[in-house]
Amino acid sequence: MCRGVNLPDGLKGPINTMNINTFIYRIIKPIGGLQIAKRLTATHPRIFMYHRVNPDGWGGAITCETFRKQVKTIKRDFNPLHLSELLETKTQRHNGRNAVVITFDDGYYDFYDYAFPILAEEQVPATIFVATGFIDGEVWLWPDQIAFLLERAELDTIPIEGLGEVSIKPQWQRAWHQIADHCLRLPNRERLRLIDELSEQLNVDLPKSPPPSCRPLTWQQLRQMQETGIVEVGSHSHTHPVMSRLNSDELAREVTLPKCRLATELGQTKPLFCYPNGQPSDYNSEVKEALKLGGYQFGVAAHPGKKPTQDAFEIKRYPVSRSTMTFEKALYGLTWLAMR
């Protein structure tokens, strides 16, 4: 620690990598350091991953106020593009410099109600990946099903095979994380069976359709947004399974069916597939090969990396944060510089 330096609040105590990174951010931002970092990282494409936007941040969403500030910052200092534009044209627009892509996963209704009006007002493009079975009303997303059951449970604990006794109260959200993480390691059929058993054990009926807070977009809304040119739509599978846990027939269906549904309903398809969950264990060489055979040119993950577009079937993204500091570090390049 340097003599005579007063550390910002929250940085006193043992120095670690995170503290140093935060310390650098807080020191350089007031003196124009973010713009310097931007220039140093101008050729690094920033691809951001969102899920939900709503007024109060319910369900882990980004608030409308925070999203508007982030979009305005992107518009002011960077070159926002659709993901397909970034990946297909590479350097043809803006010489590929200071490119930023906003992406949304899943296809919840609140994208149309809250995120899209902000994007349209600012004329900033975005790419949304939808699970077509969710849009069709055939399924609702399995993490939401687990949350629905646990939130309404009257039991304090529940036995889960492979996990043991799981505490539900006083905080059911903690149990949700445990069970959802466990489900990611299960084959698709076993995960569906576990959810059925959970419903039975908790004595909570699971409705066929999601509750209003978890409902999907409609095809009409997607068509309307696509026609504005602000939004492009890519595939996020049909039922949002863990792709690496599917057999060959299930995998083929999850790859080909959404492409057919998007072509039928929207009149065109983008060669973009976003892996559900999107962590390294959620896709593998077999999944990538299935995408190639299905006519896709790109596979999109849900974690960052040093070379985000080097592997066309493992495009890396930054998970978005409510924190202005975390967002700005990723946006202006400090996070990427730290990776290197």
Confidence (pLDDT) at 29? 80
Q: The whole model's pTM is what?
A: 0.89
Inform me whether the pLDDT recorded for 14 exceeds 60.
Answer: no
> Which pLDDT does position 64 carry in this prediction?
98
Q: In the predicted model, is pLDDT for residue 198 greater than 90? A: yes
Instruction: Report the range of poorest mean pLDDT among 52-61, 235-244, 277-286, 287-296.
Output: 52-61
Q: Largest Cα–Cα distance of the chain, in whole Å?
A: 66
pLDDT score recorded for residue 77: 96
Residue 90: pLDDT band with limits 50, 70, 90: low
Q: What is the pLDDT of residue 4?
A: 33
Residue 134, classified by CB atoms within 10 Å of its CB into exposed (0-12), middle (13-18) or buried (19+), is buried
Helix (H, G, I), strand (E, B) or coil at 332: helix
pLDDT at 89 over 90: no
pLDDT at 306 over 90: yes
Structure-token match 């995408």, residue found: 291
Pair 167, 159: CB distance under 8 Å? no
Least confident of 94-98, 101-105, 136-140, 277-281: 94-98
Among candidate residues 129, 142, 135, the one with its CA nearest the CA of residue 261: 135
Please give the pLDDT value at position 19. Answer: 67
Q: What is the average pLDDT across 108-137?
A: 98
Packing angle between helix 172-183 and helix 188-202, nearest 10 degrees?
150
pLDDT band at 13 (very low <50, low <70, confident <90, very high): very low
CA 153 – CA 168 distance, rounded (Å): 8
217 sits in which H/E element: none
Helix (H) or strand (E) holding 246: none
* C-beta atoms surrounding 95 within 10 Å: 12
Phi/psi of residue 131, each to 5°? -85, 110
Give the residue carrying structure tokens 């990538």.
288
Q: How much is the mean pLDDT over the chain? A: 90
**pLDDT number for residue 159:** 94
Q: Residue 162 phi/psi, 5° resolution?
A: 95, -15
pLDDT at 3 over 60: no
Count CB neighbours of 170 within 10 A.
7
| Over residues 302-325, mean pLDDT | 95
Sign of the CA dihedral with 131 first, then 136, 138, and 142 last: positive
Is the pLDDT at 83 greater than 70? The verdict is yes
- CA dihedral angle for residue 269, residue 125, residue 243, residue 286, rounded to 10 degrees: 70
- Is pLDDT at 181 greater than 60 in this prediction? yes
Question: pLDDT, tens digit, for every residue of 39-60?
Answer: 999 999 999 999 999 999 987 8
Confidence (pLDDT) at 11: 33
pLDDT at 92 over 80: no
Q: Name the token pair of 100.
A: 């930023």
Tokens of 45: 């494409």
CA distance 77 to 99: 10
Q: Is the pLDDT of residue 30 over 90?
A: no
The DSSP result for 222-284, as a single string, is HHHHHHTTSEEEEE--SS---GGG--HHHHHHHHHHHHHHHHHHHS---SEEE-SS-SGGG--
Could you tell me the pLDDT band of residue 315, with boundaries at 50, 70 and 90? very high
Amino acid at 60: G
Q: What is residue 8's predicted lDDT score, i.e. its pLDDT?
A: 33
Q: Nearest Cα to 45, choosing from 114, 123, 98?
A: 98
More confident residue, 106 or 338: 106
Question: Above 70 in pLDDT, residue 269?
Answer: yes
Number of C-beta neighbours around residue 101 at 10 A: 27
For 218-233, what is each residue's pLDDT tens digit?
A: 999 999 999 999 999 9
- Who has greater pLDDT, 224 or 15? 224
Q: What's the average model confidence in pLDDT over 24-45? A: 88
Structure-token pair, residue 27: 């020191």
Read off the pLDDT of each residue in 171-180 and give the average, rounded to a whole number.
93
Instruction: Compute the average pLDDT of residues 309-321.
Output: 96
pLDDT at 105 over 90: yes
pLDDT at position 239 over 60: yes
59, amino acid identity? G
